Chain A
Amino acid sequence: MDAISEHTLPRLSHATLDVRSALRPAQRHALAWRDIAGGLGLWRLGVTLGWLDIKLKYRGSVLGPFWLTISTGVMVAAIGGVYGTLFHMALKSYLPFLALSLVLWNVIGGLVSEACTTFTQSDGMIRSVRMPFFVHALRVVVRTIISFLHNLPVIVVTFAIFGVSPGWVCLQSLFGFAVWTVDAFAACFLLGALCARFRDIPPIVGSVMQIAFYITPIVWRADQLGSKGWWLPLNPFDSLLEIVRQPMLGEVASMEVWTLSVVVSAVFCAVAWFVFARVRARLAYWM
């Protein structure tokens, strides 16, 4: 390798590109794995791309990404007012729950819809340089995390107003977020690839997420369903939400919820992995 000089740029060297038509599944899995490893090596690029996306979206607006904070705050206030009255609930306990649930759902819903364009939005880049596809997934995940951080004040302010203090238990939610992060990459690979091939999937995903919003305990509480809520464990979004939400509200998430989340995530990641390994070599042709 060229000595790293302070005054000249190093020559690109010592790289090897070996591309074969991979026919055996084992080769495909090895190549998919290499894609992820290469993408992790380029993490600075993925993070910068995600960060620039946010910067770009709010360039020229006075409040910048804090528009997100405001719109979420307004949504919490509006939905809280209407549903609090409808459900005859004390705002003191309902609003913190609602603020937290809505912000967390924004993360899930936002990620799922953006995962659909993981690869199609970078078509120019994909067609002009060889780059691990993981970089594009990282870009989407980073974008989602930045949006979430801008929504955090809504939770903090609501909790402060109503005097909710979750205590140290809330750190348990970090494990939940870890599961979410892995699922997020899987979603980017799976939905990104499927949507690149079939261009009518994003609207289908949109409708599914809309339905999911109403059948998941977000604006309502699971205990309001009482014994009629037996089907809730069948909704994977319910347990995934609980592993983060319960600790943040100061309760320990149940073993049942954790088991369900881990099992659902494992299956989801396996499906995503197989699809990605299968189509990785074709993605550039679909742009």
Chain B
Amino acid sequence: MARISIENVSVDFPLYHGSARSLKKTVLAAASGRLGEDQRQRVVVEALRNIEIHLQTGDRLGLIGTNGAGKTTLLRTIAGIYEPVHGRVLVEGGLNALLDPQLGMNMDLTGRENIMLRGLYNGYSKQQIRLLEQDVQDFAELGEFLDLPVRFYSSGMVVRLGFGLATAIRPEVLLMDEWFMAGDASFVAKAHTRLESIVRGADILVLSSHITSAVLQWCTRVIWMDHGRIKMDGNAQDVIDCYLGTPALAPALA
């Protein structure tokens, strides 16, 4: 049984710019007694505010909202990358977060080396890493490029490698950002079955996307994020209708 429980989670981003990044200036400010004032005036972006979400096996949640609404930050918080300022994030089940195409790939390393690192991260044995390599190679069709540094790849090849690698690993909890829906038509067609199989295989899906048709296709429940808060939460069709309709008049249920 997989479970996600997000209890009253808030995330703040400190904006360090200019002198806040400098030790010398921070020390000077402290010496002249300005530190207290400085701390109170520190610019903070309220990325998430009082988010409460509970998901169980079988749940397919879509996150929609404009740029900067906090969708990606919420995914990163569920993935445990950003630890919340307040609240608690509990995820039971093996988790795989498909957040950006490069997914921390090192562009100077070869495709094969990047695959090996991902396998090691997941605690795979040598044998399993070879399987992973084979699986990704079959999908991405990189040929001899597999042994060349990723920086020599075309952008299409990088996407194929990143996608193939990320989708080779079947998790119980799958977090996905919208770039996974992007790509040229032929790629999308090829990727679709592969994506479908890991989505179906996952106990819980959380998908963040601008593309409402994709959300409607994959998700049963949708949360509309706005300025780091939950603006609306409910049945996929209802929420998307409100979102696409007249956002200004939509009822604020959060």
Contact = CB atoms under 8 A, between A and B. Distances in A.
A6 B80 contact: no
B121 A19 contact: no
B113 A52 contact: yes
A9 B24 contact: no
Interface string A1-38: 00010111111111111111110000000000000000
B104 interface: yes
B21 A200 contact: yes
Contacts of A9: 124, 128, 131-132, 135, 168-170
Contact of B95 (A12, A125, A201): A12
Contact of B172 (A12, A20, A41): A12
A286 B90 contact: no
B14 to A, nearest CB: 6
- A contact residues, range: 35 or more
B23 interface: yes
- B contact residues, range: 35 or more
B21 A19 contact: no
B97 A129 contact: yes
A78 interface: no
B121 A129 contact: yes
Interface string B101-141: 01111101100010011001111110110011001000000
A13 B172 contact: yes
A17 B170 CA distance: 17
Nearest to B169: A12
A45 B115 CA distance: 12
A203 B225 CA distance: 42
B171 A11 contact: yes
A226 interface: no
Given A11-B94, A129-B104, A286 B89 contact: no
Interface string B31-61: 0000000000000000000000000000000
A92 interface: no
B92 interface: yes
By secondary structure, the A interface counts as mixed
Contact of A198 (B22, B116, B170): B22
Given A11-B94, A19-B89, A20-B88, A198 B21 contact: yes
A204 B27 CA distance: 14
A201 to B, nearest CB: 6
Most buried by A among B81, B86, B131: B81
Interface of A: 4, 6-22, 41-42, 44-45, 48-49, 52, 56, 124-131, 194, 197-201, 204, 281-282, 284-286
Given A4-B128, A10-B128, 4 more contacts: A13-B93, A13-B94, A18-B91, A128-B100
What are the 9 closest A-B residue pairs judged by CB atoms, nearest first? A12-B94, A198-B23, A130-B80, A128-B104, A125-B104, A281-B83, A45-B120, A17-B91, A12-B171
Interface of B: 13-14, 16, 21-24, 26, 76-77, 79-97, 99-100, 102-106, 108-109, 113, 116-117, 120-125, 127-128, 131-132, 135, 168-172, 201
25 contacts: A4-B125, A7-B131, A8-B131, A9-B169, A10-B128, A11-B170, A15-B91, A15-B92, A15-B93, A15-B94, A16-B91, A17-B92, A19-B77, A21-B84, A22-B83, A127-B81, A128-B97, A128-B102, A129-B79, A129-B104, A199-B21, A200-B23, A201-B23, A284-B81, A285-B13
